[in-house]
Amino acid sequence: MAGLSSAVARGQFAAIAQVRWQLFVNSLRTIRGRLEMVSRVMLGFGLTMGGLGGAFGLAAASYYFTSHDQTEWLALLLWVIFLFWQLFPVVATAFTETFDSSNLLRFPLSYPSFFMVRLVYGSLDPATALGGLWLFGIWMGVTVADHRLFVPAGLALLVFALANILLARMVFAWVERWLAQRRTREIMGILFFFLIISFQFIGPLMARFGGKRHPDAARLTVFLLPLERLLPPGLAASALTHFSQGDFAAGLAFFGLLCAYTIAFFWFLNVRMLAQYRGENLSEAAALAAPSRLAKPGSKQKLAVRLGWNVPGVPGPVAAIFEKEFRYLSRSGPMIFTLIMPLVILLIFRLSPGKSGPGSEGFFVRAPDFAFPVGAAYALLMLTNLIYNNFGADGAGVQFYFVSPVRFRDIVLAKNLVHATILAFEMILVWTAVCFIYRPPSFYYTVTTIAGVLLAAPANMAVGNLLSIYTPKKFDFGTFGRQRAANTTAFASIGVQAAVFGIGALSFLLAYVLHKLWIATVLLLGLAAIAFVCYAIVLNRVDRIALDRRETLISELSRA
């Protein structure tokens, strides 16, 4: 990595930082840019508060564990941070953005510099900021409890942080590579299908093995626990435990293993980065058969073009947009990944080990009726990326909508139709999964959840349609971490979710106080009707708004 310290490399880093700063300053010239800045500050404030709160809590917990000679419990804290660090970028894509450094390749940037730029700018996300802050809290707690651990704990946690950063980047880089090809996406689809099929076995299995003490399960736990200690969070915790006990040799051994993991993550990431540095093209074209095999020069083979989709009850242009949107989604690994997350989360909740003792099952096992509403709400949240940035994936193609003889109202309607279809499909999947994993939700909870979604969906779509036009942001459907909406959009979306969930909670509270649960359903259905009216009003005004805002929309989405 000698190249990193050269004057040229330092100059390049400074130039990149300066150009990013200049881009930020220039963005403040417009009202939209200034709104983005305000939203960023407010979101940043919220995250900082959460991060600081978490850091204080973790500092207190680690102080307690260290001062009471229970440092092995630090593993629990480190596992929580580890899972957050790795899962947050996937489950909260609206807040995660990776830096597109492909343009850097035309400059004489050395590979170490390229690697560092990708790593540093790619790590400027909430997961890294919060994870780092929380690890700092643990370090403080451990150090205050035992001053001797200042350096060893600092080193172990620093390497643990590095391992997290490298692992997150590595997983993204490799998954992106695999999902870039149609064949691997199909394989993933098949695996997903098996996952759905397997749900029906989870319920009976958990019913058989989960409710009672089973000697085999106990033996398995005894077998698995040491394995846990061989993974990065366990290794970091073991190193801290041994350092605190004065057993520096064992502590160094665990620390060494943690370093080995970090180096392994670095190596795997390095393989992908090197390929990108050498100008790798992840497009599907490379995987296609050579043209000569498909059509011989001079041959008069007639090209067969499939008919477009026929969507019953909708006009041709709306059906065409419907088809186009689904084709886009089916070719986006990151979006498919995002859309299956609700099911994965349900599964994680079911399989995650609970606390020992009575009531050791997870929350949904004790209250299975809530699994469907929570799963449905999560499915809706996963869709907000699309709903709040309708035209993000269209890029420069958005110009076509303005030159085509189709009203913007119909275009937006078609896109919302796609969102509604996906949401309905996800709801059915979640309901089915809940039936197999937990138990079928009661009729009341099913109907009330549907009523809640009928309120939330049009409310989100109405606001989403407006924000898609007022604060658009270009998406890259093929790359992880490039589906982030504008900060203003993300901020407004949080407000809408808070309002919708607040209204839902109030409805339930009222029903609970009056001892008449059906009141919540009726209230939600009534509010859903109002939301539909609002949605219709927005939809009927979309034409004028889009024409007024066309310059912003086109220039923002046509950016290179």
Partner 1 sequence: MDGPAIITEHLTRTFGQLVAVNDVNLRVAPGQFFGFLGPNGAGKSTTIKMLTGLLAPSSGRMEILGVDLTANPVEVKRQIGVVPEGMALFGRLTGAEYLNFVGRMYGLDRLTAAKRTAELLEFMQLADQPKKLVTDYSHGMQKKLAMAAAVIHGPKILFLDEPFEGVDAIASGTLKAMLQRMISRGATIFLTSHVLEIVERLCSHVAIIHRGLLVAQGSLEELRAGVASQAAAALQEDGTPGAAPPAGEKLTLEEIFLRIVGGSRLAEQELSWLG
Does residue 357 bind partner 1 (CB under 8 A)? no
Q: Is 453 in the site for partner 1 (CB under 8 A)?
A: no
Q: Does 394 interact with partner 1 (rule: CB under 8 A)?
A: yes
SS3 29: coil
φ and ψ at 406, to 5 degrees? -115, 135
Distance between CA atoms of residues 166 and 163, nearest Å:
5
When the beta carbons of 113 and 479 are compared against partner 1, the nearer one is: 479
In this structure, how many other beta carbons lie within 10 angstroms of the beta carbon of residue 533? 12
Q: Which of 285, 313, 352, 443 binds partner 1 (CB under 8 A)?
A: 285
Q: Is the dihedral of CA 255, 76, 95, 386 positive or negative?
A: positive
Residue 33 found at the interface with partner 1 (CB under 8 A): no
For the CB of residue 185, give the shortest distance to partner 1 in the complex, in Å.
12
DSSP assignment letter at 1: -
> Taking a C-beta distance cutoff of 8 angstroms, is the pair 140, 59 a contact?
yes
Q: Hey, how many other C-beta atoms are within 10 angstroms of the C-beta on 348?
A: 13
Q: Does 547 bind partner 1 (CB under 8 A)?
A: yes
Tell me, what DSSP letter sits at residue 286?
G
Q: Which is nearer to partner 1, 188 or 347 (CB)?
A: 188
Closest CA to 508 of 347, 383, 373: 373
126-145: contacts with partner 1 (CB under 8 A): none
CB of 337 to partner 1, least distance (A): 16
| Binding range to partner 1, per CB under 8 A, among 38-46, 253-261, 510-518, 546-554 | 546-554
Which residue has 């509270």 as its token pair?
A: 509
When asked if residue 402 is in the footprint of partner 1 (CB under 8 A), the reply is yes
Element (H, E) at 134: helix 126-145
Give the count of residues interacting with partner 1 (CB under 8 A): 48
Stretch that binds partner 1, among 51-59, 171-179, 297-305, 449-457 (CB under 8 A): 297-305
Nearer to partner 1, 251 or 478 (CB): 478
- Using alpha carbons, select from 91, 100, 274, 262 the residue that is nearest to residue 167: 262
Work out which of 403, 443, 513, 515 binds partner 1, going by CB under 8 A: 403
- List the one residue out of 422, 430, 427, 423 whose CA is nearest residue 349: 430
Map residues 454-493 to x or -, x wherever contact with partner 1 holds by CB under 8 A.
-----------------------xx---------------
**Which of positions 34-73 make contact with partner 1 (CB under 8 A)?**
none
The verdict on 291 binding partner 1 (CB under 8 A) reads yes
The stretch among 48-56, 71-79, 434-442, 543-551 that binds partner 1 (CB under 8 A) is 543-551
169 vs 272: CA distance, rounded Å: 10
Q: Is 554 in the site for partner 1 (CB under 8 A)?
A: yes
The yes or no reply on residue 393 touching partner 1 (CB under 8 A) is yes
Contact flag: residue 26 with partner 1 (CB under 8 A)? no
Select from 26, 27, 30, 283 the one that contacts partner 1 (CB under 8 A): 283
Specify the residue, 292 or 356, whose C-beta has the smaller distance to partner 1.
292
The Cα-based distances of 111 to 9, 15, 20 in angstroms read: 10, 17, 20
State yes or no: residue 178 binds partner 1 (CB under 8 A): no
Residues 301-340 that bind partner 1 (CB under 8 A): 302-308, 310, 316-317, 319-321, 323-324, 327-328, 331-332
Name the burial class of residue 30, with classes exposed (0-12), middle (13-18) and buried (19+) by CB atoms within 10 angstroms of its CB: exposed
Q: What Rg value do the Cα atoms of the chain yield, rounded?
A: 26
The answer to the question of residue 180 lying near partner 1 (CB under 8 A) is no
Do 420 and 343 form a contact (C-beta atoms < 8 A)?
A: no
Q: Is 193 exposed, middle or buried (0-12, 13-18, 19+ CB in 10 A)?
A: exposed
CB of 237 or CB of 318, closer to partner 1: 318
Q: Which residues make Cβ contacts (< 8 Å) with residue 444, sequence separation at least 6?
A: 517, 518, 521
Interface residue list for partner 1 (CB under 8 A): 283-285, 288, 291, 294-295, 302-308, 310, 316-317, 319-321, 323-324, 327-328, 331-332, 393-400, 402-407, 477-478, 547-548, 550-551, 554, 558
